[in-house]
Structure 1
């Protein structure tokens, strides 16, 4: 049985509530979406039918502007409706789509509250046509590290212990392994950092709530926190340019549904250039894929 790290009902409630407020953080979500969709410009493949998984009304218009038909899907019916018809309210852990329904799946900041991430990736791969592309981004380890540390230290000082208040995020290396485990061909995982600077640190907590990213860890402390907790933690956030800093570290994943005729990785040991030489040559290391 898959461990229930996250409370999926809480995730749905948070996203339902955020459907009315997410426009206030649209600039952050669009920045992440643009970085993800830039990968489409790296391929000559043209896509016709896409699944927008959890795009919060940001991703679907960007895909339609590229001439791609889009079906939007979200755990929250209200959030799904933001993308316009056709849209579906469904759980990423139990997708309702037939095999080979899409040639492109885009999941922008929508898989990090999923309990069975390997299972969800397998379902997404099955929903793709042969040689279809998955583009996904999710917060990786290091995201909100400043807030996580500040909250833990402030709560330990005030209450003698700390409850989980920031979700656990996967390591980048784990993301690449998950793609391979789910059966994707040519899996790639890389990282992009977005640094957020806040004149008012309280705005960070409001942004998380307005995006539907409030704490949904199953073992979260449901008691009212000490009154001094959040002021103390926010005051301890590191600064940059006179503002409080928060980091969003994006793991950007690409993988292809297997198909005959796809490029195949070279057999292990068949490389013609020693690793040490490749790492020493800046041109070689810069061009690695």
Structure 2
């Protein structure tokens, strides 16, 4: 299979810069998001209650994930994935899809690598990630430099990410999110963690010249004023998004026609509906205490 590239569309990401950032990552110091993603995927696999005998893992961080599934084929998240068609009953695409130039293309390749009725699981960062940092950098740059440049990569909203599964030809698509509230001493401690995660700015349109001396000092002040946390710290949001879909098979349940349900789901489960906004605040993590 060969990937088709739209030569008229400008590249969103600088792949060479992204490779360098990932190569310098120190997940032994800042791998807490990977640890959380691993735990969540393990729980989801237990819920599936099926033995997978031919798994594959797609990730830019093989050292962190190579032991996740015994006997798994581990490949990088290149534009063309090194997976054989129909060879796997489980594919996990972990912590890389938010940097994909063509996320649908990645999912299509994963589907083609699955056997019939095979499972795809994705863990990635979602649109709420670092919304605080995006806001203060925009304000600081406007004040100090008189304009804006992209400094935090755009990430998909969960409602859009779930739709990618159907576009890729996967059945029974499910998307859910797990926000993580993390506190840091300062903006600079947060940026240090982002470097160790391999998640710093690799946008093709990023401002490549050295920033003015006062830019990040002003951003740090704005951050402390706008997003304070307890004990004089600052709060940062990381949104983990999990996508699940199946390679089509005739035995799978077919969705009902909209409006054809005979009873409300809440009644069937003998529970009550709730507002997403009313969910409990997720447990927080403290970082940057060194």
TM range (shorter): 0.7 to 0.9
Q: How far did residue 203 of structure 1 move?
A: 1.8
Tell me the equivalent position of 2:191.
205
For residues 163 and 67 of structure 2, the distance between their equivalents in structure 1, rounded to whole angstroms, comes to: 31
Is 1:33–1:58's contact at 8 Å kept on the other side of the alignment?
no
For residues 139 and 215 of structure 2, the distance between their equivalents in structure 1, rounded to whole angstroms, comes to: 10
Tell me the equivalent position of 1:163.
149
Q: How far did residue 62 of structure 1 move?
A: 2.9
Secondary structure at the counterpart of residue 163 of structure 1: coil
For residues 51 and 128 of structure 1, the distance between their equivalents in structure 2, rounded to whole angstroms, comes to: 9
| Match among 230, 248, 251 for residue 241 of structure 1 | 230
| Match among 11, 23, 28 for residue 23 of structure 1 | 28
Residues 3 and 181 of structure 1: is their aligned pair in 2 closer, same or farther, counting only changes over 3 Å?
A: farther
For residues 174 and 144 of structure 2, the distance between their equivalents in structure 1, rounded to whole angstroms, comes to: 43
Is 1:185–1:255's contact at 8 Å kept on the other side of the alignment?
yes
For residues 144 and 235 of structure 2, the distance between their equivalents in structure 1, rounded to whole angstroms, comes to: 23
Secondary structure at the counterpart of residue 253 of structure 2: coil
Is 1:47–1:103's contact at 8 Å kept on the other side of the alignment?
yes
Secondary structure at the counterpart of residue 92 of structure 2: strand
Is 2:22–2:60's contact at 8 Å kept on the other side of the alignment?
no
For residues 156 and 7 of structure 1, the distance between their equivalents in structure 2, rounded to whole angstroms, comes to: 24
| Match among 162, 167, 176 for residue 181 of structure 1 | 167
1:285 aligns with 2:268: no
Q: What is the TM-score with the length of structure 2 in the denominator?
A: 0.84
Tell me the equivalent position of 1:86.
none
1:10 aligns with 2:17: yes
For residues 219 and 174 of structure 2, the distance between their equivalents in structure 1, rounded to whole angstroms, comes to: 36
Tell me the equivalent position of 2:75.
73
Tell me the equivalent position of 1:80.
none
Tell me the equivalent position of 2:212.
226
Q: What is the TM-score with the length of structure 1 in the denominator?
A: 0.84
Q: Which structure 2 residue ranges, 5 or more long, are not aligned?
A: 1-5, 275-290
1:49 aligns with 2:54: yes
Tell me the equivalent position of 1:263.
253
Q: How far did residue 55 of structure 1 move?
A: 5.8
Q: How far did residue 107 of structure 1 move?
A: 1.8
| Count of matched residue pairs | 261
Q: How far did residue 60 of structure 1 move?
A: 2.7
1:63 aligns with 2:63: no
For residues 282 and 251 of structure 1, the distance between their equivalents in structure 2, rounded to whole angstroms, comes to: 28
For residues 154 and 282 of structure 1, the distance between their equivalents in structure 2, rounded to whole angstroms, comes to: 51
Q: How far did residue 199 of structure 1 move?
A: 2.1
Residue deviations 1:73-98, cap 9 Å, x none? 225xxxxxxxxxxxxxxx1x211221
Q: Which structure 1 residue ranges, 5 or more long, are not aligned?
A: 76-90
